[in-house]
Chains A and B, each alone.
Chain A
């Protein structure tokens, strides 16, 4: 039965309990002459929230796009859930894609669909047999889980504020109950209260759903509040990965400037020891 096959393929039980969810080796990306990444290595561990920081234009978004297969790298290897993503055929790639959710920088909600329809779209795509009532109930609790108001499901993206769009984007990313969540600058453009609430949401979701989170951010508060480890992108590669304390011990000029600059210092002083995993 086709449904059972899909269910089996999409729902591996006895996968090797590999603790590295994303493994990037020797990645190279170019746009014409411009080399964005070269010799980039990165590991993301199961269950962690990995913050990815780096100056504007250092290729954080491009790195994310390479991992999720929207950008084919020139060289290198990318493994997600232990399977190599490069040169995968469409059906295999689809079964892996089903296990991650992505929140794009500008939310990328489908503007002609309501929020509820946006959330139901991936479910409908992968599990077309579900009846509408069930889909509605599922969408309703996903929308509520992402912290949107009860009437948000009926709204179109154009009727939402920036913060609500991000939340709607998260509820769509969570539609298929992924194991891995990619977030591209989720708190950029949110007010501090909204951003803090969003951080809280991500931490809660990670804890409740055992997600692994790949989080691109510029927001120092986010890094301190929720990230288990931070990867620093500079000079076309990941120059360091570690907890913030480990990074602070390094004397790379960009890292020092980033965490010890006026903004970094303010956060460091106030956040004190409140850090997950410590």
Chain B
């Protein structure tokens, strides 16, 4: 079956006959356009009598021939003529199919400018969001009945209890690594015993809380952003506002509160697990018995180290939860934004946690908690 029958002999000045046959459909349009080779301004007789099926694409093709050439149409059924009319009515409008794109040079400039503005806006927005959260907190302190305990407990279970396994395992392994690496270095001074000091102090002061913060940011900060983002897209947040429920109070505060409560507990637990990991390694490789390890660790670790852990943890919790909720609330327009904001929430939270951790380190050593 050929789409295009052989063109008839063309006498000079006579119109050329194009007879189509078979299907004129989307599936064939490529070969049809390839086979039909007409010169601009050529006079044509288009014969459709052999066409079995014609869809809108076929009709559009004929319409285009008629638009661009002098065409006499023969052999078309009434049905085909109707279809041609329908397509002709819709085709050739000055349709706009792509959003306007600025020229490349100004686009680069615009992108840089946009990024700077965006960074500024994010910072301002984050501050504003934090302020709104403080106001809500104030209101809840004034009227404690506004606190949604149920939501807090529910979040606490997900953020805290469900994270125990992974955080415990991770801290245990990190404890082993620190003890092993520490022992290798300290052995050079014959001070292997100080591995205990190293593990127990670094776990409380830095590692426990930092690893926990990173894990919670990855697990819960991202979840907050995705949850609030999808709710925002489905206009659930707007619906909530309309009903008179403040999203800050119902969505954000319970999440922040749960994270703030969970972080110190998790950080303490992570520290203990890291020390436990170090203890196992010391027992297996350095022949330090657990009893000795614990005694020595208690002597070596001042209680201030624990305080440092417990002070940093809730602050990091606030950062993680606020970043997650803030980014989630920024979602608009489309689903891709949810993914983008979720990533942004995690990156922002971890970045801020590490910056703040550096400040804390300087601060605590300058007040003499060394």
Q: Given B26, B53, B79, B334, which contacts A127 in the complex, CB threshold below 8 Å? A: B26
Q: Given B55, B95, B99, which contacts A177 in the complex, CB threshold below 8 Å? A: B55
Q: Interface stretch among A32-40, A141-149, A267-275?
A: A141-149
Q: How far apart sit A209 and B335, CA to CA, in the bound complex (Å)?
A: 34
A155: B residues at CB distance < 8 A: 99
A156: B residues at CB distance < 8 A: 99, 333-334
Q: How far apart sit A204 and B82, CA to CA, in the bound complex (Å)?
A: 11
The proximity string for B residues 61-72 relative to A, scoring 1 for CB distances below 8 Å and 0 otherwise, is 000100000000
The proximity string for A residues 1-32 relative to B, scoring 1 for CB distances below 8 Å and 0 otherwise, is 00110110011010000000000000000000
Q: Nearest Cβ in chain A — how far from B275, in angstroms?
A: 47
Q: Given A129, A150, A207, which contacts B96 in the complex, CB threshold below 8 Å? A: A150
Q: Nearest Cβ in chain B — how far from A110, in angstroms?
A: 9
Asked if B163 CB lies within 8 Å of chain A CBs, one says no
B335: A residues at CB distance < 8 A: 111-112
Q: Interface stretch among A131-139, A161-169, A257-265?
A: A131-139
B333 touches A144 (CB 8 A): no
Asked if A158 CB lies within 8 Å of chain B CBs, one says yes
Q: How far apart sit A177 and B56, CA to CA, in the bound complex (Å)?
A: 7
Q: Given B31, B55, B93, which contacts A140 in the complex, CB threshold below 8 Å? A: B93
Interface residues on A, range: 35 or more
Asked if A123 CB lies within 8 Å of chain B CBs, one says yes
A177: B residues at CB distance < 8 A: 25-26, 55-57
The proximity string for B residues 89-100 relative to A, scoring 1 for CB distances below 8 Å and 0 otherwise, is 111111111111
Asked if B143 CB lies within 8 Å of chain A CBs, one says no
A111 touches B334 (CB 8 A): yes
The proximity string for B residues 50-89 relative to A, scoring 1 for CB distances below 8 Å and 0 otherwise, is 0011011100100010000000000000010011001101
The proximity string for A residues 177-215 relative to B, scoring 1 for CB distances below 8 Å and 0 otherwise, is 100000000000000000000000000100111100000
B361: A residues at CB distance < 8 A: none
Report the interface size for chain B: residues with CB under 8 A from the other chain: 39
B332: A residues at CB distance < 8 A: 158
> Nearest residue in A to B334 (C-beta to C-beta)?
A111
B33 touches A134 (CB 8 A): yes
Name 19 interchain pairs, CB-CB below 8 A, sorted by A.
Answer: A3-B30, A7-B28, A13-B23, A114-B98, A116-B98, A127-B29, A130-B29, A136-B97, A137-B60, A137-B64, A141-B56, A141-B92, A143-B95, A144-B91, A151-B95, A155-B99, A158-B334, A208-B82, A210-B79
List chain A positions with a Cβ less than 8 A from chain B. 3-4, 6-7, 10-11, 13, 111-112, 114, 116, 123, 126-127, 129-130, 134, 136-145, 150-151, 153-158, 174, 176-177, 204, 207-210
List chain B positions with a Cβ less than 8 A from chain A. 22-23, 25-31, 33, 52-53, 55-57, 60, 64, 79, 82-83, 86-87, 89-100, 332-336
Known contacts A116-B98, A208-B86, A209-B86; 18 additional CB pairs below 8 A are A3-B30, A7-B31, A11-B28, A112-B334, A127-B30, A136-B97, A140-B97, A141-B90, A142-B56, A144-B93, A145-B56, A145-B86, A153-B95, A157-B334, A177-B57, A204-B86, A209-B83, A210-B79
